[in-house]
């Protein structure tokens, strides 16, 4: 598990509503800007794995299977950040980051839907990819991964990963940067784990 220690002080409901309201006013004048996660491709040749690996698009609850930036409060209630959204659905964004993380280790990997039938499939399920109100607010993400023998349909290994990062203000670019910070520790750990399973 990968986790950055976070502060747990929470704002009052009034303070949180005021912050979200400010962002809403800022974004109502035009179409909401979209934001991506950093995932620069590796430059240069990649080694072929002895057992070919396909990265499936992560599964997600309905609230997370969208391009909305999600807020989840202490009660579990879900709302959306107005005035900003992701450039793609969250599962597609995360699939790209997982592919890039394995490529960053120097190995070639395919994504589900590319036409490659792999020996193994890296399947995953997102349980958190959202903002949490607080002082300061933070982003949090949680994902469970399963490495599956594609030919036998057999589970080889599974593991959960979590990460968090504080943000200083509710703006699309700051939110995206917070997720980039959290993913910068999580995805390399995922890649190391996926490549180490024998």
Distance CA 36, CA 94 (A): 10
**pLDDT, position 82:** 86
Please give the average per-residue pLDDT across 139-145, as a whole number. 97
User: Which is more confident, 41 or 2?
Assistant: 41
pLDDT, averaged across the chain: 85
What Å distances lie between residue 147 and 14, 134, 155, 162, 185, CA to CA? 44, 35, 6, 17, 20
Q: What is the pLDDT of residues 86-124, one digit of tens each?
A: 999 999 999 999 999 999 999 999 998 777 788 999 999
Per the CB < 8 A criterion, the answer to whether 54 and 118 are in contact is yes
User: Which is more confident, 98 or 6?
Assistant: 98
How is the chain split into domains, by residue range?
13-196
Q: Report the CATH fold assignment for 13-196.
A: Rossmann fold (3.40.50)
Please give the average per-residue pLDDT across 160-188, as a whole number. 93
**pLDDT, position 58:** 97
Please give the average per-residue pLDDT across 132-137, as a whole number. 90
Residue 38: closest CA among 109, 104, 131, 116: 104
Q: Residue 123, SS3?
A: strand
Looking up tokens 């912050």 gives: 19
**pLDDT, position 42:** 74
Q: Residue 162, SS3?
A: strand
User: Which is more confident, 180 or 29?
Assistant: 180
**pLDDT, position 31:** 74
**pLDDT, position 12:** 41
**pLDDT, position 17:** 47
Q: Is residue 164 predicted with pLDDT exceeding 90? A: yes
Q: Which two tokens stand for residue 41?
A: 């491709």
CB neighbour class for 191 (10 Å; exposed up to 12, middle 13-18, buried from 19): buried
**pLDDT, position 99:** 95
Per the CB < 8 A criterion, the answer to whether 180 and 37 are in contact is yes
């Amino acid at each position: 598990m990968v986790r950055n220690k976070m502060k747990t002080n929470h704002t009052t409901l009034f303070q949180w509503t005021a912050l979200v309201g400010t962002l809403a006013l800022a974004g109502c004048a035009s179409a909401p800007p979209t934001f991506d996660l950093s995932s620069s491709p590796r430059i240069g040749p990649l080694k072929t794995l002895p057992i070919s690996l396909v990265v499936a698009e992560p599964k997600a609850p309905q609230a997370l299977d969208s391009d909305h930036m999600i807020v989840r409060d202490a009660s579990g209630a879900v709302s959306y950040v107005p005035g900003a959204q992701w450039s793609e659905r969250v599962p597609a964004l995360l699939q790209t980051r997982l592919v890039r993380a394995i490529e960053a280790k120097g190995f070639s990997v395919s994504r589900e839907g590319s036409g490659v039938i792999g020996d193994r499939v890296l399947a995953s399920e997102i349980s958190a990819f959202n903002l949490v109100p607080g002082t300061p607010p933070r982003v949090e993400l949680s994902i469970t991964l399963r490495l599956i023998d594609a030919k036998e349909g057999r589970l080889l290994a599974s593991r959960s990963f979590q990460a968090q990062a504080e943000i200083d203000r509710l703006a699309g670019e700051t939110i995206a940067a917070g997720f980039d910070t959290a993913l910068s520790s999580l995805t390399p750990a995922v890649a190391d784990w996926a490549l180490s399973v024998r």
